[in-house]
Amino acid sequence: MLKKSQAGPFIIGYICAKFCEMSVGYSEEHIRTLEWREHIRLRPGMYIGKLGDGSSQDDGVYVLLKEVMDNSLDEYMMSYGKKIDVTINGQEVRIRDYGRGIPLGKVSDAVSKMNTGAKYDSKVFKKSVGLNGVGVKAVNALSSSFIIRSIRDGQVKACEFSHGETIMDHPILPTNEENGVEVTFRPDEELFGNFYFISEYVDTMLKNNVYLNSGLIINFNGNKFFSRNGLADLLNDNMSKEGLYPIIHLKAEDIEIAFTHGLQYGEDYYSFVNGQNTTQGGTHLLAFREAIVKTIRDFYKKDFDPSDIRSSIIAAISIKVEEPIFESQTKTKLGSKDMGPEGQSVRNFIMEFIKKQLDDYLHKNSETAGILLKKIQESEKERKAISSIQKLARDRAKKVSLHNKKLRDCRSHFNTNDPNNLDSTIFITEGDSASGSITKSRNVETQAVFSLRGKPLNSYGLTKKIVYENEEFNLLQAALNIEEGIENLRYNNVVVSTDADVDGMHIRLLLLTFFLQFFPDLVRKGHVYILQTPLFRVRNKKETRYCYSSDEKAKAIAALGPNPEITRFKGLGEISPDEFKHFIGKDMRLEPVLMKKNDSVNGFLEFYMGKNTPERQDFIIENLRIEEDIIEEEM
């Protein structure tokens, strides 16, 4: 018997169900059981996150590469094979390891049958990344071509697939090749579109693999990656300047940490579990951040604010866990709370290790301890200097944002409980006309728009106090929700959307200066992009083509015949909302802002945004000539 309070919802639900059944003919014949490859291709996001075209480091094409690499790395972690060869030729990827090789009678099953694999046997793979038997099968199903070869003890077995379906199951043949597995695949263009691989993203992934596996050699397109000092090498290779003190590098059987402090703002972390780069962090990173604070407080016997201790830290942590639990198939966030069979928690394991090892290190290295104390005190002083204006700045941000509508927000944000919610984007525009066009064209579910008023301040050389005192910077910081660090970032993609003219380029440079000066993690973690919009529209009565370069314009003119109408877009405001929706939809062209190993933030900002120098004047004159030549060619 239903209670009165339950009757209404029940009746409404019952009527809705009956209506749906009548309207769509819902019956037994509508219940389907999908084959494994059909399900993966129908719901790829469940297996690899978003698809993407390769412009973002979390796009699916890199996840496919990672899934195959994980198997080869697991072989090395189990002490089989000392090198891995990786080749990317256009859209085709080849990965060859020198491990044990898959048992020849199970090669096809290992890549085409769900819930099949050796990683269910913890005796064979104790601390493996891939434990659910899905990864390489997803690569198979999402590739137009997938070929696997397993070499074991003088014999080779090869199988060929397309979209997960077997094309050729070759017989076992004799061979002189070394043991191991070779996988060659080509992601399916039907799903990924006209995708491409950015070598810097692949470099970062493969370098992380060697940092975490000291002694492993990875050969990638003629380049050799190798590390002797593990996470200490990772930090050295990712810092543009030396830290304030020598890197503190501590290791034990299932844990390794390395950290120092620099002069940059924010906190910069690299976290890993069983070799997997957990870009979303998780229980291990939370424990690390907590342990650093507690140990340092206890060592100095002072109740420092956690933000003062961690300000400007650059750190890496790697742990090994038996049967790790990740919050998604893409394994970007650790959910495990236990380390293994003994049941010790991840938190307690990390806390105990850091408490003992870091405390011992600081006692033995008094000079480093002194530098660290001074850094914490300086951070405390700066924090207190700006705290008095923070509340006023927050209140102003809310009021101005509300009344002036500088931020047209979206419904879905990056900072949610869904680790796969990667599509949220904010476009930073100049002026009302450009922001108006994007606002009318955008997807209100995932795309927000922030409108700048005039040119931002050149923030080079200023302190973070200016972020709160300058209205535009304060509002932008509030919109992105990064006051306490980028872990609260509301949008995965921060897209600078300015005109392709001198003023637009200047505004772009001023924004990048702001991010690099105060929030460099936004750039380091691959969140900042430049929106590419067409320079020309070429059309006749039957067809319209948008061109992003002079070469594309020439090809469009040739394809559309004589005397097509040619329009040169000088600003985003000149592009109508109906046209703009083509440029910020599924085919949106984003140019990632990348920081390479040898990039120096201070050097970059000094050259472009510091005082005029003869070198910069020569640079401007030379590039002005190039720009004039381009304009003449276009005309």
pLDDT band with cut points at 50, 70 and 90 for residue 202: very high
CA nearest to 243, candidates 260, 258, 259:
260
Q: Which residue in the block uniquely carries the two structure tokens 């796969």?
A: 420
Residue 104 is predicted with a pLDDT of: 93
Task: Write down all domains in the chain, each with its CATH number in brackets.
Answer: 45-198 (3.30.565.10), 231-380 (3.30.230.10), 405-533+570-599 (3.40.50.670), 535-568 (no CATH)
Residue 3 is predicted with a pLDDT of: 39
Amino acid found at 104: L
User: Which class for 154: exposed (0-12), middle (13-18), buried (19 or more C-beta within 10 A)?
Assistant: exposed
Q: pLDDT tens across 600-614, in order?
A: 566 666 666 766 666
The answer, yes or no, to whether residue 5 has pLDDT greater than 70, is: no
Tell me how far apart the alpha carbons of residues 24 and 60 are, in angstroms, rounded to a whole number.
34
Check: CB of residue 538 under 8 Å from CB of residue 524. Answer: no
Check: CB of residue 393 under 8 Å from CB of residue 475. Answer: no
- Higher model confidence: residue 35 or residue 350? 350
The answer, yes or no, to whether residue 512 has pLDDT greater than 60, is: yes
The answer, yes or no, to whether residue 151 has pLDDT greater than 80, is: yes
Mean pLDDT in residue range 212-218: 93
- Higher model confidence: residue 127 or residue 619? 619
Proportion of the chain above pLDDT 70, given as a percent: 78
Question: What does residue 379 show for φ and ψ, rounded to 5 degrees?
Answer: -65, -40
Tell me how far apart the alpha carbons of residues 192 and 215 are, in angstroms, rounded to a whole number.
35
Q: Which pTM was predicted?
A: 0.71
The answer, yes or no, to whether residue 125 has pLDDT greater than 50, is: no
- Higher model confidence: residue 564 or residue 419? 564
On the CB side of 453, how many CA atoms lie within 13 Å of its CA? Answer: 13
CA nearest to 253, candidates 378, 428, 126:
126
CA nearest to 227, candidates 243, 244, 242, 212:
212
Residue 604 is predicted with a pLDDT of: 64
Give, in degrees to the nearest 5, the angle at Cα 114 between 112 and 119: 100
pLDDT band with cut points at 50, 70 and 90 for residue 163: very high
Residue 143 is predicted with a pLDDT of: 92
Q: pLDDT tens across 514-555, in order?
A: 998 888 888 888 899 999 888 899 999 889 998 888 888 999
Mean pLDDT in residue range 134-154: 91
pLDDT band with cut points at 50, 70 and 90 for residue 150: very high
**Contacting residues for 582 by C-beta, under 8 A, at least 6 apart:** 546
CB atoms within 10 A of CB 49: 22
Token pair, residue 458, equals: 């050149």
Tell me how far apart the alpha carbons of residues 46 and 418 are, in angstroms, rounded to a whole number.
12
Residue 4 is predicted with a pLDDT of: 35
Q: pLDDT tens across 408-460, in order?
A: 888 888 765 555 566 789 999 987 777 888 888 899 998 999 988 888 888 88
- Higher model confidence: residue 393 or residue 298? 298
Calculate helix-pair angle for 550-560, 614-634, nearest 10 degrees.
0
pLDDT band with cut points at 50, 70 and 90 for residue 343: low
Check: CB of residue 296 under 8 Å from CB of residue 356. Answer: no
Q: pLDDT tens across 467-499, in order?
A: 778 888 888 888 898 887 787 888 989 999 988
Residue 292 is predicted with a pLDDT of: 95
Check: CB of residue 514 under 8 Å from CB of residue 507. Answer: no
Residue 102 is predicted with a pLDDT of: 92
Tell me how far apart the alpha carbons of residues 466 and 457 are, in angstroms, rounded to a whole number.
10
CA nearest to 244, candidates 311, 317, 318, 316:
311
Mean pLDDT in residue range 289-297: 95
CA nearest to 275, candidates 245, 254, 252:
254
Mean pLDDT taken over the chain: 81
Residue 19 is predicted with a pLDDT of: 46
Residue 461 is predicted with a pLDDT of: 80
Check: CB of residue 530 under 8 Å from CB of residue 593. Answer: yes
Token pair, residue 563, equals: 């005397």
Give, in degrees to the nearest 5, the angle at Cα 546 between 450 and 564: 140
Question: What does residue 296 show for φ and ψ, rounded to 5 degrees?
Answer: -70, -40
Residue 315 is predicted with a pLDDT of: 94
Which helix (H) or strand (E) element contains residue 313? strand 313-319
